[in-house]
Amino acid sequence: MIPPRFKLYFQTYKKTLLLLVLAQLACVGLYAAAMKVLASITDSVFLKQNTLQEAAPVLLVLLLLFFLRKIILYLQKGWLRKTSLHCRQQLRQKLHRHTLVQPQAPDDSPKLLTLACESIDTLDDDWQILLPTLMALVVDVPFLLMVFACSDFLTAIICLVTLPIAPFLLYLLSSLTKKRSDEAWQRLAELTYGFHELICTLPLLKIFRQADAQRKTANQLIQDFSTATMHVLELAFLASFVLELITTLAIALIAVTIGLRMLNAELTFATGFFLLLLLPEFYRPLRQSGTAFHTAMNTNTSAEKIRQALADTNAKNLHERHASLPVPPAITIQQLSFTYPHRHTPVLENLSLQVPARQITVLTGSSGCGKTTLLTLLAGIYAPSAGEIYLEDQLLHTMHPRSREKLIGYLPQAPHLYQGTLRENLLLFQQAPDERCVQALRLAQLEDFFHSLPQGLDTCLGDGGQKLSQGQLKRLGLARLILQNNPVVLLDEPTSGLDETAEQAIIHTLSVLAKGRTMLISSHHPAVLELADKTIHLSEHSAKEAGTC
C-alpha cells in the first residue's frame, strides 16, 4: 500500500516527479547503451584483434555516454534536494500554524520540538533514499528486463524468477521492524523531554546539589535510546546482508549459465559480456531496497506522528463565519475556568467580568491569583477549561486565527528575544518601513538605545550579538505591540523592572497608545492604577469589580 504522503507528493510535485522519472529512464538507457558499446569494444579488440586506433571513435562514444549520464544524475540529485527542502519547509509552516492556531500546553514543547526538527528532517529520506529506489524499481528493472528479453530470453526468465524473493523477505520483516521503529521514536521523545526538563531546572538542581544525580538519569535516557536504535539497525543489517547474498547468488547463477552457453557456442561473447555488465545494475535496486525498507519504517513512524498532530488541528479548527465586528470590541468573560494540564487545582474558576471598549482596564490582585493566566487565555495561547470569552457578541475560540492575530496584541512579562537583527525582532516577519520602526522605538523609550547601536536596525541581537537588559527587552516588546497596531491590547506587568523615570515615560506611551483601543493591563504598580479607567481585582478563584477610577 502506498503511504498517503506519497500520494500527496504525486499531487503536489507532479511535474518534478515526471522530470525525475524521465531522467531515470534516460540514465538507465544511457547505461545500457554504454555497456553495449563497452562489450562491442572488448569483443573487437580482444577477440577480433582490432587495433586501439580502430576502436578510438567507439571509445569516444563510450566516454560521451558516461558523461551525459553523470550530468543527468547530477541534475536529478539537485531536483530531489530542492524538492525535499521545499516539502519540509511547507510542512514546518503547517506545523507552525498549528502551534499558533491551537492553544498549546507547556508540556507540549518537547513534543513540538521533536516533530519540528527530527521528525520532519527524517522525511528528507523520502526524497534522498525512498523515491530514488522506488523509481529505480519502477523504471530500471522493467527496462533492463526488456533489454534481457531482446538479447537472451533465458537470462530474462532467470532474472524474472529471482525478482520476487527480496519483496517477500522484506514483507516477513515488516511487522517486527515497525514495532522496533516505534520503540526507538518513543525513546527519542523521552530523551528530548528529559533533556528539556534538565535544562529548565539546571539552576535549581545546582542549588540543591542534584546535578550529578540528574546526570545519571540523562545517561540512562541516552542508553535506552541507543539500545532501541541498535535493535532497529540489527534488523537493517540483517536484511541488507540477506539481500546482498540473494542478489550475489542470482548474479553468480546467471553468470555460470551464460559462461556455459558461450563455451557451447550457444551465445556470442559480445552478447554474454553485455548481459553480465547489466546484471549488477539490474539487481542494484533490489540491494538498495533493504535500506529503503527500513528507512520507510522510520519515516512512516515520523509521518504518522506529524499527521496526527496536524489532523488534531484540522478536526478542532472549525471556524464560524461572523458578521463585521465593532472595532475596538468590548470583552465579555462568562463563567470562565482554567486548569493547567497535569494539575488538579484550577487557577481560575467561574470567572465573569466585563472589559469595556475604548478604555484602559487594569487587573490587579495578589500574586498567583491568575492575572497572567487570564491574559494568556484572552490572547488565545491557552484554551479555557470551561466558560466562554466574547469579543462583543462573537466567541473568541470560533474566530479565524488570522482575525484574532489582527485584533489582539499581547505583551508578556518576558518578551522573547530572537537571534536576528533589531528590525527582524521588531517586525516578526511582517513588513513596515524603517521610519515606523524608529517611531515605535521612540515611543517605547528606546531611542537612545537605537542611536547607540553600530548598525542601527541591522544590528544583530541575541546570542553572538547585542545584549539587552530586562527593561530594554520589555520596551522592545512594547515597540512590537505599537507596530502591530491591534485594536485590543493586553499587557502583563509592562512597567516591572523599570526605574521611576522610565516607568513614567512608558505610562505616557500607554496613555497615547490606548486612544481608540481596548486596553487591559495586569499590574499592581500605583502609577499604572492611576492610569486606569476601570480597575478589576482578582482573587484566587473569582473576580469582582472593585469600582471605576
Q: What average pLDDT values come out for the chain (549 residues) when binned by 10 residues?
A: 76 92 96 94 84 83 95 95 92 77 58 78 90 93 95 92 77 63 66 70 73 74 74 70 82 92 91 94 86 77 79 49 72 89 82 91 86 89 87 84 84 86 86 90 89 89 76 88 91 86 87 91 89 82 39
Residue 72's pLDDT is what?
Answer: 96
Residue 548's pLDDT is what?
Answer: 36
CATH code reported for the domain at 331-547 = 3.40.50.300
The amino acid sitting at 516 is: G
Phi/psi of residue 25, nearest 5 degrees: -65, -40
CA dihedral 149, 152, 154, 158 (to 10 degrees): -60
Contact assessment for residue 301 and residue 149, using Cβ atoms and an 8 Å cutoff: no
Domain covering 4-311 assigned CATH 3.40.250.10 in the classification: no
Residue 487's pLDDT is what?
Answer: 93
Residue 518's pLDDT is what?
Answer: 94
Question: What residues contact residue 295 under an 8 Å CB cut-off, 6+ apart?
Answer: 125, 129, 130
Q: Which residues in the chain are classed under CATH 1.20.1560.10?
A: 4-311
pTM for the whole thing? 0.62
CB atoms within 10 A of CB 51: 9
End-to-end CA distance of the chain: 68
Q: Which residues in the chain are classed under CATH 3.40.50.300?
A: 331-547
Residue 173's pLDDT is what?
Answer: 63
**Preceding peptide of 167 cis, ω within 30°:** no
Contact assessment for residue 330 and residue 519, using Cβ atoms and an 8 Å cutoff: no
State which H helix or E strand residue 413 sits in: none
Q: How far apart are CA 461 and CA 448, in angstroms?
A: 16
- The C-alpha cell of 399 is what? 474566530
Residue 524's pLDDT is what?
Answer: 85
Q: How far apart are CA 546 and CA 549, in angstroms?
A: 9
